[in-house]
Structure 1
Amino acid sequence: MCGIIAAAGHLDLAPAVEALAHRGPDAAAVVQEYGVTLGHTRLAIQDPGSRSDQPYRDGPVTLVYNGELFNAPRVCALVESMDPRRNWTTTGDTEVVAAALATLGPEATLPELDGMYGLVWTDARRPGVLMAARDRHGEVPLHVHRGAPALIASELKAFRALGRRCGKAVVDVPPGEWWELYGGALTRHVFHRLTATPAPGLTRETAAAQLRHALARAVDRRVIADVPVCALLSGGIDSAAIVAELVRHHPGLTTYTAVLDPKSADLRHARETAEALGVTLVEVPVAPPTADDLTRALEVIEQPSKAQVEIAWPCLALASAMRADGYRVTYTGEGSDELWASYGFAYRGIREAGWYPYRRDLIAAQAVRNFPRVNKAFMSAGVEGRLPFLDPDLVTLALSMPEATVRDADTPTGRKAVLSAAYRDRLPASVLRRAKVAFQDGLGLKPIITSALPNPVRYYRAEHFRLYG
């Protein structure tokens, strides 16, 4: 995971690169070529040597890449099918993506990429054209400022560093799209749209077995890293299931949980899970936040949403603790609640939109909510967050499941029945039976924030406008 900033023209991007240094403390560079400017800050996860530094050139393509590719061998094979004499010079995924764009073109490359990413590139065969793409679920943020010249960045802070106010001038590249910017014009292309295809007749037992297999494969694909990794363990079933799969690769894995109230149910269940799975649990103390602390969280995640800010605050402490302990990659259960529509507010949406469309749209909506918050909160300390529940095969499977297969009933303890069934032999019964509890509520943040901010919604909106416009 890294930081990217690009301009559809020649521009001094040094201030923006500096503003993104937290996303990439290992290397930074800016190049101007083919009529555009590309800047990059690198967090080295794969092939950490300088040969994989960016901007990265491969033939006519110059690429800045923020993310991870989880099916590099397949993409390499596609490149080699068109270029049998291809000589790979690195062991990282940056070269793979750049080579695919140069050899196959974006139309053939992007549908094949299984990963989390934001890409920006230029091509000598199309001088002056700036191209950008975002992964199919929007796990990695990618913002476009429609000023002159147009800018593309991982975070709004890069625009601010260049003297740009944001507001309505900024749009996000939607998940599953790639854009071309040239001379003030914008052309949009779609390479993926999320769908939900029902699988009627799928039984709970069969679905649970398929889900267990799919999550195991999702984790298997995401363990690639040349640096130490850790995981979150919140006390809920989502992170517990991921840790249960990770320990096959990392026995004695180190996990982290936030602690505000030492008597909280979240902490008790996290401890039970850690003991059952034989992992180390690091308990990170989180102080009650002040108004200034919450402004800091808002500035990091760049969203004025009450829920997102309050979830982000303890995540900043977790990210700092992980980085201080030498970790650069962590795993989280984000995405699971959307797959199963386990939120209390989902009942009405399901009844109005339907079981399958509602969950599809709920996942899609997180490209501007949960997923950028995860990315920016952990990258504030140079830690990459990986989301195994967003594996393409797992998402397809989950969205195909009938409501009666997923749920016992629309009750807090029955909304993830299929996930509980999948892991009943691996996780404590108390965790399997737990009702869905919002992360910030499980920590006990709500009364503290109510005391610190009498009107948090108004406060967050005002602070976001002050910071970003």
Structure 2
Amino acid sequence: MCGIAGWVDYARDLSEDAATVRTMLGTIANRGPDAEAVWSDGDIALGHRRLAVIDIADSTQPMAAVEEGRTLAVLAHSGEIYNYRELRAELASRGHRFRTAGDTEVVLRAYLEWGERCAEHLDGMFAFAVWDPRRRELLLARDRLGIKPMYYARTPHGLLFGSEPKALLAHPSMECVVDAEGLAELLAYIATPGHAVYRGMRELPAGHVAVLRPAPGGSGGGGAALRESRYWTLPQHEHPDDLETTVATVRGLLQESVAGHLLADVPLCTLLSGGVDSSAIAALAARSLGDGHRPRTFAVDFEGHTERFRKDFWHEDPDAPYAVEVARHVGTDHEPVVLRTSDLADPVVDAAALRSQDLPRPIPDMDRSLYLLLRAVRQRSTVALMGEVADELFGGYQSFRDPTLVDTANFPWVTMGLRVAPHGMSTGLLDPGLLRKIDVPGYSAQRWSETVGEVADVPGEAGTERVMRRVGYAHLTRWLPLLLSRDDRLSMAVGLELRVPYCDHRLVEYVHNIPWAMKTADGREKSVLRSAVADLLPASVTQRRKSPFPITQDPRYGQVLRERFDAVVGDPAAPVRALLDGPACAELADEDRPVAVDGWGERRNVEMVLQLDAWLRHYRVRLDL
């Protein structure tokens, strides 16, 4: 894993502007703690921060392809290519010669062979930039599911680009501005392809490439032309297999994916919650590694959580006992990471989690606990496999299963949030006039209409099946990117590479088209996945109800929220005050009790106020509403 930052300008010589790109790279230094380098020449300054995972000694970047003293292309790459050995052999048969043993040079040579279509040949998680000095062209590319990030912003004569928004915001020409549409996108908690919340910034959509070149006739004036194009889309078609074949195929595809994701020259582990998703990954990893290789697993827990656990709408039971049971069953070296309330309340951790994502989020306590888990894991491993994406694929969420959520002309998770507050989740303490102006329900409904318009009609599919295809597509294209972004930022903030075997595009293409009736064949969520891995896991795990990422139920955490909320609301200089519902905040501030940590209403509203205030302060955001 790595970090990228760069600047193309066709109207100035950037040979001496490496310092600016180094400043941009400095904001994402945690993405690549092992090395930093900037390559600059005329129109471009291209920077890279490296986390060495494969071919540690030789695959330094930016990497140039030089032949007979002439530079053909220069690459900065983030991610892993799991089929690089096969591609290397194919490219060698076409006459390419290699001087390293890693996947970076394979990407570089793939560009020289196939040009902008090179991304179609790559299996893995990746985002990269290739500069072609012969054509004065820049190619940006992103993997099919968008596991690895890439952002860019147009300038009068070129482009800024980088792995995270903070890298672009560090450039002197960028303003940190959020308008009404950006704030609606943030508060709706959807991921509209291409949108980056910050005005003037765009996220390269998953499965896309972008090419920047001098504008026609503009070689002397510095004009630039940019073209985005899609090279992959989620296929929509009839499912040809019966249930038995489907279960066997899912098992085979998942097993192949896990085996491919174990490729590394550094210590590797898996994250294990005790749910079926992560347990399947741990079991298949142990099987792929074989005898003599006892894999390491990690799980998050909270001090006293099992003893004080109270069942709620989301959580049936605590995770820790199931994680231990799976570890014993599979045969892993298991290590729980036990967090204290003081850890979750640490303002340094709070700031680090917010800074890693560049945006406030409605569930920051989950972000902080994941950050702390990953930070602890990084002390033992450089790479970790996780079970993310199974719920989006196989239909594990309540937003798939509740019939009152799935056909409401809006995203199911937005509809769920609207039941908590009239303007959506985490908005209960924000100014009603502001919320009416932003119109989160209307904004998300418009985005929902655009989303379902992308879903093809499949012959013979109607009624529930047609609705659930749309719901599945929305989760994979508008919800999943939020999770992948969170996972990437929090793991990269501690220099850990997270891998997501359920995101293998062959598995995604196959499972997406499995009919909903088959996905719920036994009347339970994710029944195909449960059946596919039933022989690997204890029955208690394969039959366990879906349990989301755990949250602390310690009332002391509610007291911390109370103290911080009172401090912000009582601070005349707090930047968030202009966004708040004064009477509602005053009413809550007058109550002499901790913030309720049960449920999602009050807790989420207070967390959003604190997140917005910290974001506005530290990023010096200008709201143009």
What TM-score comes out, normalization by structure 1 length?
0.91
Aligned to 1:298: 354
Is the 1:241–1:423 contact (alpha carbons within 8 Å) kept by the matching residues of 2?
A: yes
2:170 is equivalent to residue 131 of structure 1: no
Moved more, 18-27 or 194-203: 194-203
Query: Residue type of the partner of 1:342?
Result: G
Correspondence list, 1:247-396, <5 A: 247-250=286-289, 251-260=293-302, 261-263=304-306, 265-288=318-341, 289-290=344-345, 292=347, 293-307=349-363, 309-325=364-380, 327-346=381-400, 347=402, 348=404, 350-351=406-407, 354-366=467-479, 368-396=481-509
**1:227 corresponds to which of 239, 249, 266:** 266
In the alignment, does 2:543 pair up with 1:433? yes
- 1:111-260 pair list within 5 angstroms: 111-127=120-136, 129-147=137-155, 150-163=159-172, 164-166=174-176, 167-182=198-213, 183-199=223-239, 202-203=242-243, 205-250=244-289, 251-260=293-302
Q: 1:444 to 1:213 in 2, by over 3 A?
A: farther
Q: Sequence identity of aligned pairs in percent?
A: 30
Distance apart, 1:218 and its partner CA: 0.4
Contact 1:196/1:400 (8 A) holds in 2: yes
Q: CA offsets per residue over residues 104-140 of structure 1, 9 Å max, x none?
A: 2112x1111111011111102211x322111000001
Letter in 2 for 1:258: V
Corresponding residue SS for 2:167: helix
- Could you tell me which amino acid in structure 2 is paired with residue 132 of structure 1? L
Which is further off, 289-298 or 423-432? 289-298
1:226 & 1:48 partners in 2: Cα distance?
7
Q: Can you list the C-alpha shifts for 1:313-333, whole angstroms capped at 9, x where unaligned? A: 1121122212212x1100011
State whether residues 142 and 153 of structure 1, in contact with CA within 8 Å, keep that contact through their aligned partners in structure 2.
yes
SS in 1 for 2:199: helix
CA RMSD of aligned residues (A): 2.2
Query: Residues 68-100 of structure 1: CA distance to partner in whole angstroms, max 9, x if unpaired?
Result: 00111332244235x32x221111000000011
Residue from 535, 544, 557 that aligns with 1:448: 557
1:190 Cα deviation after fit: 1.1
| Partner residue in 2 for 1:57 | 64
Q: Summarize deviations over 1:386-420 as a string: whole Å, max 9, x none.
A: 0000111111121121112111477xxx1111111
The question of whether the paired residues in 1 share the 8 Å contact of 2:116 and 2:139 is answered with no
- 1:464 equivalent to 2:615? Answer yes
The separation in 2 between residues aligned to 1:165 and 1:282, in whole angstroms, is 44
Is the 1:196–1:357 Cα contact (8 Å) retained in structure 2?
no
From 525, 528, 552, give the equivalent of 1:418: 528
The C-alpha deviation readout for 1:24-61, integer Å capped at 9, x for no partner, is: 11111001125111000100000000x21000011411
Rate the CA distance shift 1:249–1:228 in 2: closer, same or farther, 3 A.
Answer: farther
Report the equivalent of 2:443: none
Contact 1:319 1:380 in 2 (8 A): no
Aligned length: 457
- Cα distance between partner residues in 2 of 1:287 and 1:365: 33
Amino acid at match of 1:99: R
Aligned to 1:362, what secondary structure does the other structure show? Answer: helix
* Change in CA separation of 1:447 and 1:233 when aligned onto 2, cut-off 3 Å: farther
Quick check: which has more Rg, 1 or 2?
2
Q: Provide the C-alpha distance between the structure 2 equivalents of 1:189 and 1:58, rounded to a whole number of angstroms.
A: 25
CA 1:120 to 1:399, structure 2 compared with 1: closer, same or farther past 3 Å? Answer: same
**AA paired with 1:304?**
P
Question: CA offset at residue 181 of structure 1?
Answer: 2.9
Is residue 115 of structure 2 the alignment partner of residue 105 of structure 1?
A: yes
The DSSP-based 3-state class of the residue aligned with 1:74 is: helix
Question: Following TM superposition, by how much is the alpha carbon of 1:295 offset from its aligned partner in structure 2, in angstroms?
Answer: 3.8
What is the aligned counterpart of 2:97 among 87, 92, 97? Answer: 87
Residue 32, structure 1, aligned to residue 85, structure 2 = no
Counterpart contact for 1:202–1:401, Cα < 8 Å: no
Structure 1 unaligned residues grouped into runs of 5+:
none
**Counterpart AA for 1:207:** T
Q: Indicate the SS of the match to 1:13.
A: helix
Instruction: Tell me the residue number matched to 1:46.
Output: 54
User: Alignment partner of 2:378: what SS?
Assistant: helix
5+ long unaligned stretches in structure 2: 67-71, 177-197, 214-222, 310-317, 409-451, 453-466, 566-602
